[in-house]
Structure 1
Amino acid sequence: MMAAVARAATTSDVFNAIAEPQRREILALLRAGEWPVTDLARELGMTQPGASKHLRVLREVGLVRVRGAGKQRLYGLDARGLRPVHEWVGGFERFWNESFDRLDTYVQDLKQTRQEE
């Protein structure tokens, strides 16, 4: 019998938190400004408790902040929490740039060949 491999808790790791598609949708909506949970739930076609659960995870990893406004709680994006993701993805930028440079060279070679024909 194989032992289960331990996983980092979703709530402690921004990469695990944003791996969930509905959480990425919430973050995309919050780019435009603050939302109450009821409106987020309605927009995403989920229950209010479901939206609250996702928001709690996003808050715990530092991607969402909440503030009281009267009786409502408004959720907003805290993009600083995405810094580890940005830095990790940025490590692949050189690969993409080299790929685009190779593509550009290929296209220029094709144009040159057609002009010579």
Structure 2
Amino acid sequence: MHALDILGDPVRRRIVEVLGSGEAAAGEIAGIVQGEFGISQPAVSQHLRVLRDSGFARVRALGNRRLYALEPARLAEVDAWLAAFRAFWEPPLAALGTELARGRRQRRLAAEQTDPPPASEPDPDTDDRRTNQEH
């Protein structure tokens, strides 16, 4: 099954997001997913099994708990598949970044032109010399 078929399911995508924060117990994952999607614990277990069987997650036993973690190799496979399409969004995003920076610069320059520069403090040495020269 193609990786995107696995990640196409919103429940499985959410589980991957949860596991993106680090290893999590099956019960913890089930609690999050059940609360967000209103599905049963057995349904969450089936999604975890699909992720495990497809290579997106690994599981280890710790006593009577099952701890799940992401398998980075399968995510790298998805990233490699997406690489062919990055050309569609990266240049426009780079151009957007340039335009945003240009707009910030123009606003800053406009603000500098309309705001008078801060008044400088009088130099006491200069004021003393003027006073002495006048006398």
With the length of structure 2 as denominator, give the TM-score of the two structures.
0.63
Unaligned runs of 5+ in 1: 1-11
Q: Determine the structure 2 residue equivalent to 1:19.
A: 8
Alignment map for 1:88-99 (pairs within 5 Å) = 88-99=81-92
Change (3 A) 1:76 1:101: closer
Give me the whole-angstrom Cα distance separating, in 1, the residues matched to 2:29 and 2:95: 43
- Among 3, 15, 20, the alignment partner of 1:31 is 20
**2:50 aligned with 1:57:** yes
Determine if contact 1:37/1:48 at 8 Å carries over to the other structure: no
Which is helix-richer, 1 or 2? 2
Identity of aligned residues (%): 34
CA root-mean-square deviation: 2.3
Deviation of 1:39 after TM superposition, in Å, equals: 1.5
Change (3 A) 1:38 1:97: closer
User: What is the one-letter code of the residue matched to 2:64?
Assistant: K
Alignment map for 1:1-117 (pairs within 5 Å) = 12-45=1-34, 46-103=39-96, 104=98
Change (3 A) 1:100 1:31: closer
Give me the whole-angstrom Cα distance separating, in 1, the residues matched to 2:19 and 2:31: 14
Change (3 A) 1:73 1:101: closer
Give me the whole-angstrom Cα distance separating, in 2, the residues matched to 1:91 and 1:37: 35
The structure with the larger Rg is: 2
Unaligned runs of 5+ in 2: 111-135
Deviation of 1:13 after TM superposition, in Å, equals: 2.5
Q: Which moved more, 1:54-63 or 1:41-50?
A: 41-50
Give the number of equivalent residue pairs. Answer: 100
Give me the whole-angstrom Cα distance separating, in 2, the residues matched to 1:101 and 1:41: 39
SS at match of 1:38: helix
